[in-house]
Chain A
Amino acid sequence: GNSVTQMEGPVTLSEEAFLTINCTYTATGYPSLFWYVQYPGEGLQLLLKATKADDKGSNKGFEATYRKETTSFHLEKGSVQVSDSAVYFCALTRAGANNLFFGTGTRLTVIP
């Protein structure tokens, strides 16, 4: 089946610290992978995506590389800001599927 396993939170970091949120997946075929972010009181926003192996998605200083050999799509940022405080969701969709499969979400809090 299709599933996403995401690093449990919450994660608390000081401003300018390095961030890694782990995400591994199980899927048939060749899925597309996504990271979504949910700021307090808001819906989900697409942060970045990768559609094939070795692709690197990047946006707003965040990066994630599609690693087929380790079935992973870890989210990284070199220097977090207070404004990055949010819940981050890893997700996948496989070819031919209508919907996305989401991980459990990781709450990040960045303190000044």
Chain B
Amino acid sequence: SAVISQKPSRDICQRGTSLTIQCQVDSQVTMMFWYRQQPGQSLTLIATANQGSEATYESGFVIDKFPISRPNLTFSTLTVSNMSPEDSSIYLCSERDGMNTEAFFGQGTRLTVV
């Protein structure tokens, strides 16, 4: 399995500001994803990060709020824009290397908005 490095591991941010989370994979992977895990909840898919094109967002998530980049097959960023306390969550980067394979996850970014 690929090793996924995600940073920062945690941050405390002021409301109205933006935070960019980075995800680096140690090998080229086909698919990268961003999930949100709200306190005490399960994982919700935010979007699929597409290499060289715009991300594919799930219902309830929009590009203006969660812009995503994926410049190559090993790296992606998620920005949480104009943050509010409701954005306090764990954000997880994930990769899969084929349709019927398992997903692997980074260690997550624990975001607190004050």
Contact = CB atoms under 8 A, between A and B. Distances in A.
Interface residues of A, number: 23
Counting chain A CB atoms within 10 Å of each CB, the highest count among B6, B41, B42, B106 belongs to B42
B92 A97 contact: no
Nearest to A105: B42
B105 A45 contact: yes
Interface in A89-107: 89, 93, 95-100, 102-105
A73 interface: no
A95 B110 CA distance: 32
B99 A97 contact: yes
Nearest to B108: A43
B31 A93 contact: no
B105 A44 contact: yes
Interface residues of B, number: 21
Interface string B14-47: 0000000000000000010100000001110100
Given A44-B105, A46-B1, 9 more contacts: A32-B102, A36-B105, A42-B108, A43-B106, A44-B92, A45-B105, A46-B104, A99-B48, A105-B41
B108 A104 contact: no
Instruction: Tell me the dominant secondary structure on chain A's binding face.
Output: loop
A43 B10 CA distance: 12
A51 B42 CA distance: 22
Counting chain B CB atoms within 10 Å of each CB, the highest count among A44, A93, A103 belongs to A44
A106 to B, nearest CB: 10
A66 interface: no
